[in-house]
Amino acid sequence: MSDSAKPPAAARLRVCIVAPSLRYVGGQSVQADLLLRHWQNDPDIDISFLAVDPPLPGSFAWAEGIPGLRTILREPIYFWHLWRRLKDVDIAHIFSASYWSFLLAPAPASWFAKRRGCKTLINYHSGEARDHLQRFRSAKFVLSSVDKIVVPSGYLVDVFREFGLSASAVPNIVDLSQFRYRQRTPLRPHLVCTRGFSTYYSVDVVVRAFAEVKKEYPDARLDLVGGGPLEGDIRKLVGDLNLTGVNFTGVAPYKEIGKYYDQADIFINASWLDNMPLSVIEAFASGTPVVTTSPECMPYLVQHERTGLLSAVGDEKALAANVIRLLRDPALAMSLAQNARDASRKYTWEAVREQWLNTYRGLV
């Protein structure tokens, strides 16, 4: 066949990820960064990134530490970037949380994308979806106008269905190179919680559960890896309970988070609202057996007595009892960890890439 008769090579799809930057480490920024890094030099995708939180120019840099003011100053800069950067893009892959942040970042991104003639994909990550859609009528209007809604869990697919919105599930990605799987033999009473100090994650329940564990295992330790508005309350609770062995590590950069799982033997979580917490998948990959409360989303991720142990939301005694159960039954702990490690492979780039590629191709 002559060169002129050869079929043309498929053009690379031009995808722009619109998401928070790693300046403020969080679930969305980490996922966006992983996608961006994995798509680099890919034969099928030409990837670019547009931050929803562009830095303020030098003359306004002083306002970066003032949340409300920095948002007001940043929004017109963000709009200008959207208009300029989405000009030559096939798909705008827009990360989304809920409530006011939805109106400030994903909603305008989808509007500008449509004006620039590119397909719009909202990648919705918030466990607050049901409450958001009930309270903000504008959210359903925006979401019903985009070309595709993608969520990281079957739980959110079901929630969106309640509001007449069709969503597809593509799992979050975990970079397994950040985590070293090891068997815990012997299993020590060294617990780790990598959730932020916010209302949703109930770190106070983790601390109260740890107090129960200490009654059985006085040498038990708890590493609290994170930060947030309730840190002062949590520190006070630790003092009021006269607890020893609690280590406040502060917020860990994503590239360093693996060492905290590696140092500990059991992962503990007490959230009452969640979606698909990366921390649980990271624990799967690290071999730290998972003990967690069971908000509505959690059974979609953790199978009770197969990949972890579940207990009722807000019940610190039940949470502690599951920790103690593992310490008394190391064979169960090992079985949970091994099953969880197998489950974690569903969240590798090798497993997720084709799902994203098919999603993009389906749009164009």
Q: In this predicted model, what pLDDT tens digit does every residue of 302-329 receive, in sequence order?
A: 999 999 999 999 999 999 999 999 999 9
Across residues 156-160, what is the average pLDDT? 96
Question: Are the C-beta atoms of 121 and 147 separated by less than 8 Å?
Answer: yes
Q: How far apart are CA 98 and CA 108, in angstroms?
A: 14
- Residues facing residue 290 across a β-bridge: 267
Indicate if the pLDDT at residue 1 is higher than 50: no
Query: Regarding predicted confidence, which is higher, 277 or 315?
Result: 315
Phi, psi (deg, nearest 5) at residue 326: -65, -40
Q: In the Cβ-directed half-sphere of 268, how many Cα atoms lie within 13 Å?
A: 32
- Is residue 194 within 8 Å of 225, Cβ to Cβ? yes
Confidence band for 263, pLDDT divided at 50, 70 and 90: very high
Alpha carbon distances (Å) from 215 to 320, 321, 325: 10, 11, 14
Res 133 pLDDT > 70: yes
Residue type for position 309: L
Strands 91-96 and 119-124: parallel
Q: What is the pLDDT confidence band of residue 10, given thresholds at 50, 70 and 90? A: low
pLDDT value for 8: 43
pTM of the predicted model as reported, rounded to 2 decimal places? 0.86
CA distances from 274 to 98, 117, 120, 271, 329 (A): 13, 34, 25, 7, 28
pLDDT band for position 276 (cuts 50, 70, 90): confident
Facing residues of 190 across strands? 221
Percent of the chain with pLDDT over 70: 97
Cα separations (Å) of 275 from 70, 163, 167, 271, 352?
A: 28, 17, 14, 10, 18
The reported pLDDT for the residue numbered 2 is 47
Q: 192 Cβ partners below 8 Å, 6+ apart?
A: 222, 223, 225, 260, 261, 263, 264, 266, 267, 268, 288
Find the mean pLDDT for residues 55-75: 84
Q: How many CA atoms lie within 13 A of 96 on its CB side?
A: 31
Q: What percentage of the chain reaches a pLDDT higher than 90?
A: 84
- Write the pLDDT tens digit of every residue in 74-125: 899 999 999 999 999 999 999 999 999 999 999 999 999 999 999 999 999 9
Q: Are 342 and 310 in contact (CB under 8 A)?
A: no
The whole-number pLDDT of residue 25 equals 64
DSSP letters for 119-179: EEEEEE--TTHHHHHHH-HHHHHHHHHSSEEEESSHHHHHHHHHTT---EE------GGG-
- Where in the chain is CATH 3.40.50.2000? 10-173+348-363, 176-345
- If pLDDT is split at 50, 70 and 90, which confidence band does 11 have? confident
Helix axes 27-39, 278-286, angle to 10 degrees: 60
Question: What CATH number has the domain spanning 10-173+348-363?
Answer: 3.40.50.2000
Superfamily of domain 176-345: Glycogen Phosphorylase B; (3.40.50.2000)
pLDDT digits (tens, 9 = 90+) for 159-209: 999 999 999 999 999 888 889 999 999 999 999 999 999 999 999 999 999
Instruction: Compute the average pLDDT of residues 270-286.
Output: 93
Span 330-350, pLDDT tens digits: 999 999 999 999 999 999 999
Predicted local distance difference test score (pLDDT) of residue 26: 74
| Residue reference for tokens 């090992």 | 334
Q: State the maximum Cα–Cα separation within the chain, in Å, rounded to a whole number.
A: 81
